Every structure is written in C-alpha cells, then in structure tokens.
Amino acid sequence: MVRRIKKAAVIGSGIMGGGIAALLAGAGVETLLLDIVPFDLKDEEKNDPAQRNRIVKGGLDAALKAKPALFFSKADADLVSTGNLEDDFDKLSECDWIIEVVVENLKIKQDLFKRIDGIRKESAVVSSNTSGIPLKDMSEGLSQGFRKHFLGTHFFNPVRYMHLLEIIPGAETDKEILDFMADYGERILGKGIVWAKDTPNFVGNRIGIHGIGKAMQMMLEDGLTIPEVDALFGPPMGRPRTAIFKTSDLVGLDTMTHVSDNTYELCTEDEEREVFKIPEFVKKMVEDKLLGNKIQ
C-alpha cells in the first residue's frame, strides 16, 4: 500500500508533545493535539468547552511562546487543532499516525492504548514517545493489528532542534511500518534515525543518564562545586555548553530522576548499576518542586 500521513494526533500537550505537534505542523501535517480534562473543574465549568480544554490550550500557547521557537512559523499553528481525551477522543479514528506523549506511568499508558486500540483505523500507526518504558509492557493484551502497527518514536527536547530520533521496534511491528517511519522521520521531519532495542531507556538516555550520574558521584567524592563540574564537562571536553547540570536543568530534575530510577530498577545485572542512584540532594530538590529551568 502507498502510506501517507495526512493527519496526525499527539496525545499530551506538555513541552515535548507541543514540540512534536509543532514539528508535524511545520511539515504540513494537519495535527490534533489532545490532553486531559482538568481535574479541578467547578460545577459551573464542567460544561464549558474553554475550561475543559484549558490544559491543552495552555500547552499550545506555551509551544507558541517557546524560546528557542518550536514552530518554524507561527502560521504553522493553524494546522494544529486542540481537544481533550473525553470529548474529542473519537477524532483519533481519522488519524494516520497517533503519538502518545503522556506521563511516564505504565498503567496510564496501557489504559490509553487500550482505548486507542478500540478506535484506531486499521492502517493507523501508533507510537510512544516514552523515554524508557518497555514497549512489550505497554502493548500487552492488545490486538495483533495494534501490535503490528506499534513502535517507539523517541524524540528529544527541544524537538525542533535535536536531530536525534530513536525508533524502537516492538516484537511484532511490521517491517513495512518500520521502514516507512524511518524514511518519514528522516526525509520529511529532518531527523537522524538511530535504531534502538526495547531495553531500558533505549540508547540516548541510557548513555546520557550514566554520564550525568557518574559526574554527580565524582563531584561529591572530590568535593567539586556544580559550576566547576560544568566548566570541566562542557566545551573543554568537546561537549555542549550545557555540560552536566545545565543539561539536567533543561530536561527537568523530575524527568532526569525518573530516567535514572527506571534504569536502576530494570537493569539489575548492569555492572554500573550504582551510578544510576540519584544523590540525596537531587531527590530533595525534586521533593521541593525545584525542578530546574525546563525549556519553555
């Protein structure tokens, strides 16, 4: 069959989801951006579409205001429509590619994919932007048709500027789907494709979180300061100016901690496992909601 992506959906309107929607719109793809209905609606707000779509509107607004800019042109935003996962879920049946970008929680993802399995058109590709949850766990119990069209497409933040796109095949993903998505990601979205196995945190995050963890350990052992570590592990070593801690700051300490904890839990035989233990001072910052300066 001749496969085309005329309409796509992005589920989750945070910085990553908004960035993916902006990238697709820049490629001329009509894109549906969905998010949850706010939990805190007052009785008089529960039937108000503006209030029900408050989260997704905030996500799109943030993408439009982002610096560096996530949209190639703000006019591209005309290709992005918004909605919520209650009132607009049926619209997913019109989409050629459905991308999940929700919170890194296995149960939430499983429940979402079960709903998608019941509504997606037969040819629709479904992918997860998870940074490390196994695909086999997310797709467990779903239809064979779903599993054949399911894969991981892991973008990196900020989506417009980061060249890397990891593609992670599921155990049953059709080769035709994988070949098409790799070509589409490279030729249409302008990404550099890296094939990853369905292992914890795939390639980029597995390597990156190890480097961050090791640098933090050495800092504590040798009595270095945070600015000293970033001065050492930045441009003098051929690395980006964001080095170690500024990179963690941009990603968000909550996200960095989740990736590290996930690696520690799942890689029980890894000889470097202890590197993935987050220092107590970072845990305390996350508890206090001091999450860094996430890309806005």
Label residue 67 by pLDDT band (50, 70, 90).
Answer: confident
Topology annotation, domain 204-287:
N-(1-d-carboxylethyl)-l-norvaline Dehydrogenase; domain 2 (1.10.1040)
Q: What is the rounded average pLDDT for all residues in the chain?
A: 94
CA torsion through residues 16, 17, 23, 26, sign: negative
Report the predicted TM-score, pTM, of the whole model to 2 decimal places: 0.91
pLDDT tens column, 3-32: 999 999 999 999 899 999 999 999 999 999
pLDDT exceeds 60 at position 123: yes
Q: Which CATH superfamily is domain 7-195 in?
A: NAD(P)-binding Rossmann-like Domain (3.40.50.720)
pLDDT tens column, 161-189: 999 999 999 999 999 999 999 999 999 99
Q: What are the domain boundaries of the chain?
A: 7-195, 204-287
SS (H, E, C) the chain: CCCCCCEEEEECCCHHHHHHHHHHHHCCCEEEEEECCCCCCCHHHCCCHHHHCHHHHHHHHHHHHCCCCCCCCHHHHHHEEEEECCCCHHHHHHCCEEEECCCCCHHHHHHHHHHHHCCCCCCCEEEECCCCCCHHHHCCCCCHHHHHCEEEEEECCCCCCCCEEEEEECCCCCHHHHHHHHHHHHHHCCCEEEECCCCCCCCHHHHHHHHHHHHHHHHHHHCCCHHHHHHHCCHHHCCCCCCCHHHHHHHCHHHHHHHHHHHHHHCCCCCCHHHHCCCHHHHHHHHCCCCCCCCC
pLDDT exceeds 70 at position 295: no
* pLDDT score for 192: 98
Label residue 1 by pLDDT band (50, 70, 90).
Answer: low
Highest mean pLDDT: which range of 243-257, 263-277, 281-295: 263-277
* pLDDT score for 252: 86
Label residue 203 by pLDDT band (50, 70, 90).
Answer: very high
